[in-house]
């Protein structure tokens, strides 16, 4: 049996929560390997809705070990709040079910504040951050001034690190006309939160090595979609970490050969939250209808998602960048009732036909989609659990998508309920 990496093949919000929960039944360990609490996953299990931001989706299933890897930036207060909420819903979260990498970077109050200050100061040039401090925390990580989970063990000797991080942040705050941070207030906050976080701390890379050698199956879960990757996404309208599948190895401390199969997730249409290019975005009644039928509002922010037709050109690009060998196509039921559907097969840029989204920001803003029109269907796909239950035109739509993205659809989701899933190939099989 292979391990599996789940990666979003669009701009996020592809339905990873349900798919990871569905796959976690076959896994022993679920690992979150990048991002922070700026991405949300919604799970619906036996009629109960769970909304997760930082915790791996497998945490709602008993008997599974959930792991937050070193590639994640962790707001300890947000994490504790999320654990408290799940506990109130009857989900037990304890050190026996959740482990946190000792070398993961902490998001501090000063990171949240700086994030919001800079977005406010940017005016019309803002990039659409959630304001939760993820970007500034990653900046401090790369700048080698971050405070990490393991530092909570040695707070009494943390003075020089606090001084270093405050020297940087207070200079920025002065430049923005804001009040400086207090070292005493920061240390007080860390002393209060440390005993609540430290019981979960572990050497995650060693833990995962031990468990995989014993035959345990590992599911690696990303947060944001691949098109938000800091290197390969629609820069600068991206997140602050690598979101491609390769990050699963770096962000959890395992070798690339451990990863196994790469399952990409894509909606049967396209959505995006926040600013940035979106070649197939619809500003008409069709776009509004997709948003209403798909309940397209961010789990974390509540912001309405921008909606458009399926962009096969972009998904094909992500498949090549992430080494995806199977696609889980979600929300097919949202397309029920459309008389015709369009799929983007490529672009024109200044009159030239191209088969990829260019890297330049200005060029990305100028591309125009090339559409292929497909016949829609009137019958419902909602809740279908086999190919035989799907309308013929829905099957044709999926098959054409496979051809255009040059990758098989190995899993099909037809509703938020975890059992409403059609499986063509188990990702855990070699």
> How far apart (Å, rounded) are the C-alpha atoms in residues 176 and 421?
50
Which one from 41, 111, 169, 232 is the annotated catalytic residue?
41
Cβ proximity of 416 and 18 under 8 Å: yes
Backbone angles phi, psi at 290, to 5 degrees: -60, -45
The strand pairing partners of 375, in sequence order, are 340
> How far apart (Å, rounded) are the C-alpha atoms in residues 54 and 60?
13
CB atoms under 10 Å from CB of 234, counted, come to 21
Q: Which of 364, 363, 373, 427 is nearest to 400 (CA)?
A: 373
Rg (CA), the chain: 22
**DSSP element (H, E) containing 369:** strand 368-375
CA 202, 203, 206, 208: dihedral to nearest 10 degrees? 50
Has 13 been annotated as catalytic? yes
Give the max Cα distance, the chain.
Answer: 67
Cβ proximity of 230 and 242 under 8 Å: yes
> How far apart (Å, rounded) are the C-alpha atoms in residues 206 and 308?
43
Cβ proximity of 328 and 264 under 8 Å: yes
Has 41 been annotated as catalytic? yes
DSSP string, 400-420: HHHHHHTS-EEEEE-SSBTT-
Q: Which of 213, 24, 237, 52 is nearest to 130 (CA)?
A: 237
Backbone angles phi, psi at 45, to 5 degrees: -130, 120
Cβ proximity of 81 and 339 under 8 Å: no
Q: Which of 242, 317, 239, 305 is nearest to 278 (CA)?
A: 305
SS3 100: strand
Cβ proximity of 271 and 293 under 8 Å: no
Structure tokens at 91: 């989900």
The catalytic residue positions are 13, 41
């Amino acid at each position: 049996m292979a391990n599996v990496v789940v990666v979003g093949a669009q701009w996020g919000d592809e339905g990873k929560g349900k798919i990871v929960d569905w796959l976690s039944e076959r896994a022993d360990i679920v690992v979150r390997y990048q991002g922070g609490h700026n991405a949300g996953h919604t799970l619906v299990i036996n009629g109960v809705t769970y909304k997760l931001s930082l915790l791996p989706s497998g945490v709602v299933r008993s008997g599974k070990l959930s792991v937050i890897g070193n590639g994640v930036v962790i707001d300890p207060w947000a994490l504790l709040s999320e654990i408290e909420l799940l506990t109130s819903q009857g989900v037990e979260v304890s050190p026996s079910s959740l482990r946190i990498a000792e070398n993961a970077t902490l998001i501090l109050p000063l990171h949240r504040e700086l994030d919001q200050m800079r977005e406010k100061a940017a005016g019309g040039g803002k990039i659409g951050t959630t304001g939760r401090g993820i970007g500034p925390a990653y900046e401090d990580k790369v700048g080698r001034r971050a405070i990490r989970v393991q530092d909570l063990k040695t707070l009494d000797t943390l003075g020089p690190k606090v001084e270093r991080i405050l020297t940087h942040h207070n200079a920025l705050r002065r430049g923005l006309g804001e009040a400086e941070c207090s070292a005493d207030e920061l240390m007080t906050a860390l002393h209060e939160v440390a005993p609540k976080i430290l019981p979960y701390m572990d050497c995650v890379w060693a833990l995962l090595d031990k468990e995989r050698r014993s035959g345990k199956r590992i599911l690696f879960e990303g947060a944001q979609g691949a098109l938000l990757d800091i290197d390969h996404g629609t820069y600068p309208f991206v997140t602050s970490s690598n979101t491609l599948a390769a990050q699963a190895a770096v962000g959890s401390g395992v070798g690339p050969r451990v990863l196994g199969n790469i399952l990409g997730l894509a909606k049967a249409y396209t959505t995006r939250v926040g600013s940035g290019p979106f070649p197939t975005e619809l500003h008409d009644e069709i776009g509004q209808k997709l948003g209403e039928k798909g309940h397209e509002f961010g789990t974390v922010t509540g912001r309405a998602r921008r909606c458009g037709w399926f962009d096969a050109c972009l998904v094909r690009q992500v498949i090549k960048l992430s080494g995806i060998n199977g696609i889980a196509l979600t929300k097919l039921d949202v397309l029920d009732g459309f008389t015709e559907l369009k799929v983007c097969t490529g672009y024109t840029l200044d009159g030239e036909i191209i088969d990829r989204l260019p890297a330049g920001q200005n060029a990305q803003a100028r591309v125009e989609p090339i559409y292929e029109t497909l016949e829609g269907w009137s019958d419902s796909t909602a809740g279908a659990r086999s190919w035989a239950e799907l309308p013929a035109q829905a099957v044709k739509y999926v098959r054409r998508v496979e051809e255009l993205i040059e990758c098989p659809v190995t899993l099909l989701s037809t509703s938020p309920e975890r059992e409403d899933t059609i499986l063509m190939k188990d990702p855990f099989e070699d």
